[in-house]
Amino acid sequence: MLLIEPERGAKRMIKHRTWLFVPGNHSRTMEKAMETQADIVIYDLEDAIPWNEKDEAREIVVKHLQEKHVNKASYKLLRVNESTSSFFTKDVIAGVRGNVDGIVLPKSEYPEHIKDVDQQLTALEQELNCTVGDIPLFPLIESAIGVHNSYEIAKASPRIPRLSFGAIDYTSDIQTKLSDSGEELLYAQSQLVNSSYAAGIEGPIDTVYADFQNEEGLLRDTQRGERLGFKGKMIIHPKQIEPVHNVYTPSKKEVAKAAEIVNAYQRAQERGDGAIQLNGKMIDVPVVKSAQQTLDLDKALKET
pLDDT in tens, 216-258: 999 999 999 999 999 999 999 999 999 999 999 999 999 999 9
CB 19 within 8 A of CB 164: yes
What does the alpha-carbon distance between residue 91 and residue 94 come to, in Å, rounded to a whole number?
5
Per the domain annotation, does 9 fall within a domain? no
User: Is there a single domain that holds both residue 130 and residue 182?
Assistant: yes
Which residues sit opposite 23 in a β-bridge? 44
Q: How many folded domains does the chain comprise?
A: 2
pLDDT, one tens digit per residue, over 173-200 is 999 999 999 999 999 999 999 999 999 9
Q: Cβ contacts of residue 198 below 8 Å, gap of 6+?
A: 151, 154
User: Is there a single domain that holds both residue 266 and residue 280?
Assistant: yes
User: Is there a single domain that holds both residue 256 and residue 208?
Assistant: no
User: Is there a single domain that holds both residue 232 and residue 128?
Assistant: yes
Binding residues: 79, 142, 169
Binding residues for Mg(2+): 142, 169
Residue 298 or residue 247, greater confidence: 247
Which residues sit opposite 43 in a β-bridge? 22, 78
Provide the pLDDT confidence category of residue 6 given band limits of 50, 70 and 90. very low
Tell me what the pLDDT averaged over the chain comes to.
90
Domain that holds residue 160: 18-248
Residue 45 pLDDT greater than 70, yes or no: yes
Reference 2, options 259, 272, 198; nearest CA is: 259
User: Is there a single domain that holds both residue 183 and residue 297?
Assistant: no
User: Is there a single domain that holds both residue 91 and residue 223?
Assistant: yes
Q: Please, what's the largest Cα pairwise distance for the chain?
A: 69
Binding residues for substrate: 79, 142
- What does the buried/exposed string (b/e) look like for 174-200 if buried means 16 or more CB atoms within 10 Å of the residue's CB? eeeebeeebeebeebbebbbebbeebe
Point out the least confidently predicted range of 55-64, 142-151, 189-198, 279-288.
279-288
Point out the least confidently predicted range of 59-68, 113-122, 167-176, 227-236.
59-68
Provide the pLDDT confidence category of residue 12 given band limits of 50, 70 and 90. low
Rounded to an integer, the average pLDDT of 272-287 is 80
CB 201 within 8 A of CB 9: yes
User: Is there a single domain that holds both residue 222 and residue 275?
Assistant: no
* pTM of the shown model: 0.89
Residue 123 pLDDT greater than 50, yes or no: yes
DSSP state at residue 279: T
User: Is there a single domain that holds both residue 298 and residue 173?
Assistant: no
